[in-house]
Each structure stands twice: as structure tokens, then as C-alpha cells.
Structure 1
Amino acid sequence: MKAPWFLLFLSLIVSVNVTAQTTKTVKKQSPVKMETPPEIERTKPEPPNQYQLRLIMENDAFGGFSDRYYTNGSRLEFHMTAGESNPTRRILGYWNELFITPSETTKYLQGFALGQEFYTPTNITKADVSYGDRPYSSRAYFSNSLTTATEDTSITTELEVGMIGPSVGGKSAQMNFHNLIGSPTPQGWDTQIPNSYSGAIRTDIRKFYHRFVGTQYNVNLGNIQTDVSFGLIFRFGNVDKTPGPGSSALQPGPPILHEDGKGYWYFYINPGGTLQLYNATIQGQIGTERTYKAQNRNSAFSNLDNYLNNPTLEAGEREIQYKALTEDNGRNSLQRYILFNEFLVKGTNNPYNIGLNYLIFNNIFNGAEDIEKTTRIFLLKNLVDQWDTIPDNARALAIYSIFRPEGGKLPPIIRLYSYEVLSQFILDPKQREILLQLLRDEIQYRDEKTYVADLKRAVGFVRAGFVSVSNAGFLFGLHYNYQTIDFQSAKGLPQQHQWVGFQLGKVF
């Protein structure tokens, strides 16, 4: 595409050199003054093409923090110089130049990226949803971007297509990683936000008014995330006004901004906030019928008076206890098991001891939490001692609950068996069938649904770290991230999250 102009440029240069030499030779013999044609004076070589790779990795395990909320993100990028005829520059350049005034030194870089993000609740050992917690979700995307950069400002606009849901592979990826590092196996990926395709455009603007002080703006528009962010950037080091590379996989920003032989390094701190309008990793896909939300585990147990039309004092007290039992936020298993033992075991004709009763509690009220190996052995021994006295449905739920496959959803039939066994000792025979039918309807309803949470509009963040770009264009960055939670949580859940990331890259 550039070859004819390049050959013309070489021929003109040769012509100029020959003419200059001839002029020197005949200078004394001819009064004619040789002038360089104007079109040659205006011809300037384009800057050399630049190619670069960058990898960003983030995980809460890198910093030894709790495994929850935004738990992993990664992004691989390739960037190259975008000439005037570059399609991406032609399309996105008009938008970028609304925020920047181009000059002869303005750089244009086209980028391609692959990225993924994983999100989990506070307690990953539960197979069911912990109501009031963040739902499981995973997303992956491919993007095409244009970065327009001057000596003190960068504008990066990115067009993204991707998807959210089980097809991304978040379940197998996190299970394999946790098995590799010896962490607990996540049990609830079968409850994640369902499949949906995504499209988005986002723009990141960074401007430095002083080499140590700058601002950052970030706008996302799409059917996965729609939000606006603002932050200040304070830094210290051997750096001029260059915005430098972005730091987070969630807000990647510009690529490596570098000139040959001009390395730089700096420490930075980046406080800011985000205003969220929509987030599919929390709220699910727009318009779906497969999602529902409830801050507490509402069930037939929560409304006994309405279902059974029996507003007695005893029923009212019992209903209060059932509600307390069902308020599972992922962190209060012991307290609720004490309630279960006090009000659904003691004072009834329940003949079973802790082995079967704990499994019933765990399946109905505790989100089918994964049972530790030592506890499993204890429960199994207890079950063996009373095996001949328990019915077939109790045996089935006990065997499955003890030897349940890792990462598997609790089957509806096992949940129903748990309800059947428990109902034998808390309701009279006339009421039992009514309640069991309601429970069957509830199981069928919830089996095809995915829990979603309410959105928290305002989210605060602080990022800090170190960035180094060598004279030869090698990038290394280490980044710490602190963020308040982005969803409306149940009481008692952590209201913040922390993770660490790094990035590596090279300019060629």
C-alpha cells in the first residue's frame, strides 16, 4: 500500500543528492541557483511502525486476600501503529479527536485484545445460592481499539464483542486453578448468570497537567456494563508527562507508550469512583425470565401461616425461627444449625441424631455447603450406627450428600427427599401433603432460575503500584486494587474487596 510512495521518495532523495553534487562541481561555471522543489520539502518520512504485546493478570490469591467477588481477570493485547488509511483509525479517530487536538507528534495505535473475568460469592463452598451475596458469573470478550496519544494525553476507545455465562468456561478454569494451588473447590458455578452475547464501547481518557498529577475518565456503554468512572492519578518517579500504560484489566486504558531510548518508571496512587447504571454480572441479562432476586431465602417454610391458614401463636413463633434459619448469607452456618437443632430436632419425635439431621439442615437451610473431609467421616460413622432404622429416601439423600461430586448442583430429588424426611416431624399428616406440594413447586421454579442481586450505584476504588518501561521497551507493572462492593449485600458480608495484578509487555 505504501510501496509506490516509498520508491518515489527514494528516487527523489537520489535526485536531490545528484543535483547537489552537480551543483558543487559547476558552481563557479554557472550562476544558476538550484532550488529544491516545494513538493520535496513537504515530503517527510512517516514514523517507523511499532508493534507491542502486553499481558495483564489479576487475582485476589496473588495478594493472599479472601477469594470472593471479582476473583480473577486476564487480558492479552497486541498493538501496532495505525496509519492514516487504517480502518480502525478512520472509524474511531473522529471520536478520539473530540477529546484531543492532534499534532505532528500525535501517535495512533491500533489494538486487539482477548480478555476474561470471573466473579464469585463470599462463600464458594456452597452449591446453592447464598442470598444477598454476589452471584457467580464469568465473561469473555474480543476487542478492537484505537489509542490516540500526545505527550501528555491519551484517548483509548475500544469496541468489544463477547459473551457472559457457562460457555465462557469459568467453572472448569477456576476449579482447575484451585486444585492446582490447593484452595477449596468452588461448588456453585452451576448457579451462574446464564449465557448471553455482549457488545460494548468504552473510552478511557488520561491527561497529565504536571508530570506527577493527572486525571482519568472512563465510560462504558453496552449490554454487559454501563458505567462512568473518574479518578485522580498521583505519581512519583523518573517520568515526564506521558500518561503511561493503563494498569487494570477492568479498565485497561492505553497500551505501552514509549519512544526508543526513552525509558521511564514511577510509583502511583489512583483514587476514584464509579457510577453504575447496569451490570449484567450482578443483575443478569436484560429481559431474561431465568433470573430472580431475593435478599433472603424465601420459601414455603417462610410463610407457614399463609399456606396452612393456621395463625396460631405457636405457628407464628415457628415461622420466625424458620425465617431466621433461611437467612443464609454464606457466613452464619453455626448459628443457624443451633437454631435448627433447638426448634426442629429437640421437642419433636425426630428419632435421628446428628448424622442425618445435619445433612438435612445442610441441604435445606445451608446452601448444600461442601463438607470437610474430617466432618464427612464423622457423619458417615454416625449414619452407619443408625442405618437400619432410617427409610430409603433418607438413605438416598445421605449417600449422595456424603459423596456428592465436587462442583455439582444439588439435584431436585435429593432436595425433595430432605424436605420429606424433615416434614415427618414438624407437621401433622393432614398438613404434610399441602406443604410438600408447595415445596415441589418451589423446587421446580428455582431449578430453572438464577439468583441475581441489586446494584449498588456508587463504587469507590483506590489503586496503587509501580510501572517501569525500559529504554528498550520492556514493560513491568505491579498493581494493588481496593474497591468497595458493587452490589446490595446481605447483612454481615464484607463491604470491600482487594486484589493484586501485574502486567508484562514489550515494544518491538
Structure 2
Amino acid sequence: MKTNRFLIIIFLSFLLVHSTWAQTKITKKQTTIKPEAETKENLETTKRETPDQYQIRLLMENDAFGGFSDRYYTNGARLEFHMSAGESNPTRRVFSYWNDLFLTPNEKTKYLQGFAVGQEFYTPTNITKADVSYGDRPYSSRGYFTNSLTTFNEDTSITTELELGMIGPSVGGKSAQINFHNFIGSPTPQGWDTQIPDSYSVALKTDIRKFYHRFFGTQYNVNLGNIQTDVSFGLIFRFGNVDKTPGPGSSVLQPGSPILHEDGKGYWYFYVNPGGTLQAYNATIQGQMGTDKAYKSQNRSSAFSNWDSFLNNPTPDVGERELQYRILSEDNGRNTLQRYILFNEFLVNGTNNPYNIGLNYLLFNNIFNGAEEIERTTRIFLLSNLAAQWDQIPDNAKALAVYSIFRPEGGKLPPIIRYYSYEILSQFILDPKQRETLLQLLREEIEYRDEKTYIADLKRAVGFVRAGFVSVSNAGFLFGLHYNYQTIDFQAAKGLPQQHQWVGFQLGKVF
């Protein structure tokens, strides 16, 4: 959370300096112009250039708000401050060259300069695993600060923003989500130590909204940067007491324009916004550009590819064993039971393993199941099984069992625990060559994965539907609710959900 405080301090300091600079300039101008020399035209020009509107907006969204499953894009928050931008405003001078390509300025055109800080958190399907899951979305978190310009008239808004931020552990996603889940009584996320590493970000984004009828419009969104590069298009259908004003955006992921409001002219409407996104790059899925600390479970060359070279005697049986080990290793977060049955048939029943389900499940969980957090009822069941044959269990296996059941929450399983698990499991495999090979392969596997971050393949086309309600009162109070449905943005393993849903809200006020 240190990075969040740092960004907020920068945000507030910038506002203070900018406000002081603007007020000094206005005061100086007022003292140098003699009242008797002022014309009506000068007065109107001064009024236009003086900041005459301020507004604040908060957007928040979370899959828990709608009671949906906790996965993929799990939380987003954004706080914005906007004010009128006169002709001498530096942000307007720079960004208006770009914005004016999409909108022809007229006497009704207005300009708002904006500042924002925001955060986004992403998690896999099963947050109870300490390791990454095969073919799932990796953990990642990003935070950012933006400076923007919104150009708008009666039916069109163009918002362009420059974003500076970072992705990685320094953003504070781990502590934020663990604290929030502890507060609401949800399971503690176990895998944040595997998240995408730290990297700084820069991006330029443009959102275009145009209404051809008060109940119908289009939306375009372009992101160019080293965290996300994509383009989106959507249709907006709405119904309510509203003219052709584009109104505010609604999503933290695509915030769009701020509160568009004139004194005494409130409006409200319901809307549906179907559309799609084409992705070129997404660091929250693919990791940093050029990093050597990433791997892909689906398509990398694993240690099991060396099975034949270890045995030096390829046979159909060797190929079958390799396939079984691969299936055991391909944990997608939702196939634990199937893989445990395979583990029991292949590495327990066919050996002289003397342990019952208690210790064997812990070995399976440590080696092949991502060190998944053990639920309270399951923990009691395993303890009962262990107690039944406690005297027959070696001391190193006892220590392993106790640690595995009661290990600390929220972190990786230490490598030494995996090594112990490998040793205890393999010593009961009757075939000495198979035992030697299994140990060597598993050791190579953990050495390969240690200090590396799982990344996923990108899905180029993503579809979405947003729906909600927006109300801006005569006095400039904003209230909005929105629902989001989206197809997944990465290439998922078989059996994982192919969509995600979440709910959000926004509050704001024009001063």
C-alpha cells in the first residue's frame, strides 16, 4: 500500500501547485487590466478562461458486489478530479490537437482537465492454491496516475489521458485483497507471491463517445502502452430523461468522460452497451516485455520431456507413464479430484506405500495440487486419518504432515517441503529406475519453476455487455450502477470458466 500513498501524495501536491498557479495568474491578470479599459468582449474572454467548474468522481467495481465468483478481474477502483480548462491550460494546449481531430470545436465546446489515481487486481479461478494453476489467469495488480483532457459538446465527448504507473507487488494487491477477504469472511488468497513482477508503466488512452440520437450512440476506446495495447468498439442503447449528451463513462477499465453537466439541467437514463475488444498486448496476462522470469505451463518444454533420456530405453510403458505424470501436473484449479484418483492409482496402489489417505493426500497436495489451502472439515478428516497410524509414520513424515496441515496462509510452499514430499513419496515405489527418474524429474521441475512467474497466452478477441443506470441531478450529483459481463481475455485450460461478471458503482459531484 506504500505505492498507493505515494501516488495520492503526488496527486494532491500536483493539484495544490496547479490551483495556486492558476489563481496567481488570474489575480495578476485582474490587477493589470484597468476597469475603464475593459470591453464586453474582454470580460467574456476572461470568464471563459477562468476555471468555473470543479468535480470529483469515484468509481468502484468488484465481483463480490454481485455475489459472483471471485476470479479474473476481481477489483477496480478509481478516484478522479476534474476542472474547467481555459485556453492557456497546459494540458488543453497539448491534448486538444489530438481531441480536435475527432470533434470540430464550436461556441458550445467545453474542456475539462482531469487527474485520477486507480488500481486493478486480477486473480486465477482458484485463489486457495499457493502455486499457479495450469492454464489459468496469473495474479497481477496495477496502480496508476493519469492526467487527461475531455473535449465535449452537446452530443460528443473525447477523453484523452496520459497514464503513468506500475504493475507488480509494490502496488499492494496482496495485502489489500487479503485484508478485504478477512474483513468479509472470504477465503484468504494464497498465491499472490506468484504475481507478475514489478514494472513501470506508461500509456496513452483515448475514449470517444458520440450520440446520433438521444437513445443511441457509439463508443470507441484505444489504449497504447507497455501494460495494455488494445482497441474497443461498442454500441450504446439507452432510455430515460436525457438529451444527446454523452453522459459519464461507467467502468474502471474504460472510465470514459467525467460528469457532463450544466447548472439546472439534470438527466437520468438506463443503458445497454454491447461491444468487443481486440487485444495486442496485456502485461497483466503476459507479464513484462522481455522478462526471463516467466513460463507457460501449456506450451513450454517441461522436465517430463526428458523422460526417455533418463530411462535410455523408450517403450510404450514409458510413454504412458510420461502422459500420466503430465496429467497429474496439469492443475487447472478445478480438476483436483480427477488428478487425486490418478495419483492414488498410479503412485499409491501400485507400490508398497503403507500410508492411508491422510498422509497420501498431503503428499499429493504438496507435489501436484498447488499446495491448496485445506478447508477446516477436510483438515479434521485428515488429522483423524493421521492419528490412526501415527505410530507407524516416520519422524520426517510426521513433521511434514503437521506443517502441511497448519502452514501459514498467504504464501508459497517452501521448496524444502516439496523436497521432503518427493522423498517420502518416492521411497515406496518398487521399481528403482522409476523411483530415481521420478525424483530427478520432480526436482528439475521445482528448480525450473522457482523464482519464476506463470504467464498465460492472450485471447485476441474479447466480447462484453454492460448495462446500468446513471443519474445526474440538477445540482450536479452523480449516481450510477453498472453490471458487466465479459468473455475471458486469456487462453484458458479446459474446464475453466469462459466468462466473468462483476458489478460496480460511481458517485460524484459537480461544484
Please confirm whether the aligned pair reaches a TM-score higher than 0.5, indicating the same fold. Answer: yes
The code of the aligned residue for 1:57 comes to M
Query: Does 1:83 pair with 2:86?
Result: yes
> Within 1, Cα distance between the matches of 2:506 and 2:497?
28
CA shift digits 1:393-429 (9 cap, x unpaired): 3223212210111111111111111111121223533
- In 2, the alpha carbon distance for the partners of 1:429 and 1:398 equals 25
| 2:35 alignment partner AA | S
- 1:385-396 matches, within 5 Å, as 385-396=388-399
Q: Cα offset for 1:85?
A: 1.1
Q: Distance in 1 between matches of 2:153 and 2:117?
A: 26
**Do residues 247 (structure 1) and 271 (structure 2) align?**
no
Residue 290 of structure 1, CA deviation: 0.4
Give, in angstroms, the shift of residue 105 of structure 1.
1.8
Match of residue 355 from structure 2 = 352
- Cα distance, 1:235 vs. partner? 0.6
- Aligned residue for 1:131? 134
Task: Label 1:41 to 1:484 Cα distance change in 2 as closer, same or farther (>3 A).
Answer: closer
1:503 maps to amino acid: Q
1:414 partnered with 2:417: yes
Match for residue 197 of structure 1 among 193, 196, 200: 200
Partner of 1:332: 335
1:374-453 to 2 correspondence within 5 Å?
374-426=377-429, 428-430=431-433, 432-453=435-456
Question: 2:10: which partner in 1?
Answer: none
Compute the displacement of 1:391 (Å). 2.7
Per-residue deviation at 1:116? 0.3
1:267 aligned to 2:270?
A: yes
Aligned positions, number:
486
**For the Cα contact (< 8 Å) 1:12–1:40, is it kept in 2?**
no
CA distance in 1, matches of 2:508, 2:249: 12
Which residue of the partner structure matches residue 11 of structure 1? 35
Segment drifting more, 180-189 vs 320-329: 320-329
Instruction: Give the drift of 1:486.
Output: 0.3
Q: Identify if the C-alpha distance between structure 1 residues 334 and 39 changes in structure 2 by more than 3 Å, giving closer, same or farther.
A: closer
C-alpha contact 1:396 1:414 (8 A) present in aligned 2: no
Aligned to 2:47: 45
User: What secondary structure, in the 3-state scheme, does the structure 1 residue paired with 2:47 have?
Assistant: coil
CA pair 265-12 structure 1, distance change in 2 beyond 3 A:
farther
- 1:276-291 mapped onto 2 (5 Å cutoff): 276-291=279-294
Q: 1:325 to 1:40 in 2, by over 3 A?
A: closer
Task: Name the SS of the counterpart of 2:92 in structure 1.
Answer: helix
Deviation string for 1:134-182 (max 9, x for gaps)? 0110000011111011111111001011111111111111111111111
Task: Say yes or no: does 1:2 pair with 2:26.
Answer: yes
Q: CA deviation at 1:43?
A: 5.5
How far does the alpha carbon of each residue in 1:193-229 deviate from its partner, in whole angstroms, 9 at most, with x for none?
1111101010000111111111100000000000000
Amino acid at match of 1:144: N
Partner residue in 2 for 1:342: 345
Q: Taking structure 1 as reference, are residues 176 and 43 closer, same or farther at Cα in structure 2, changes over 3 Å only?
A: closer
> Out of 310, 330, 346, which is 1:307 matched to?
310
Q: Equivalents in 1 of 2:343, 2:32: separation in Å?
A: 87
Question: Which structure has the bigger radius of gyration?
Answer: 1
Counterparts in 2 of 1:41 and 1:82: CA distance versus 1, 3 Å? closer
- Write the deviation string for residues 358-390 of structure 1: whole angstroms up to 9, x where unpaired: 001111111111101111122122223323322
- In structure 1, the residue matched to 2:9 is none
Query: Secondary structure in 2 aligned to 1:304?
Result: helix
1:310 Cα offset (Å): 3.3
- Deviation of 1:187 (Å): 0.8
Contact 2:51 2:83 in 1 (8 A): no
Post-superposition offset of 1:5:
4.4
Which residue identity is paired with 2:449? R
| 1:183 maps to 2:186 | yes
Check the 8 A contact 2:61/2:502 in 1, yes or no. Answer: yes
Q: Which moved more, 1:398-407 or 1:422-431?
A: 422-431
> Could you tell me how far apart the structure 2 residues matched to 1:98 and 1:127 are?
49
Matched with 1:228 is 231
Code of the aligned partner of 2:228: Q
Unpaired segments ≥5 residues, structure 2: 1-24
Gap change, CA 1:326 and 1:4, over 3 Å in 2: closer
Please report the RMSD computed on the Cα atoms of aligned residues, expressed in angstroms: 2.0
User: SS at the partner of 2:327?
Assistant: helix
User: Aligned letter for 2:26?
Assistant: K
Which segment is superposed worse, 71-80 or 335-344? 335-344
Amino acid at match of 1:228: V
Matched, 1:317 2:320: yes
Deviations 1:41-64 (A, max 9, x none): 986732761011100000000011
Separation in structure 1 between the aligned mates of residue 160 and residue 405 of structure 2, nearest angstrom: 52
Normalised by the length of structure 1, the TM-score is: 0.91
Structure 1 partner of 2:15: none
SS in 2 for 1:162: strand
Structure 1 Cα separation of the partners of residues 403 and 447 of structure 2: 20
Tell whether 2:483 aligns with 1:484: no
**SS in structure 2 at match of 1:2:** helix
Q: 1:296 to 1:337 in 2, by over 3 A?
A: farther
1:256 matches 2:259:
yes
- Where do residues 28-39 of structure 1 align in structure 2 (5 Å cutoff)? none
Indicate conservation of the 8 Å contact 2:162/2:204, yes or no: yes
**Please, which moves more after superposition, 411-420 or 453-462?**
411-420
- Residue 108 in 1 paired to residue 121 in 2? no
Structure 1 counterpart of 2:115, which letter?
A: F
Matched, 1:153 2:156: yes
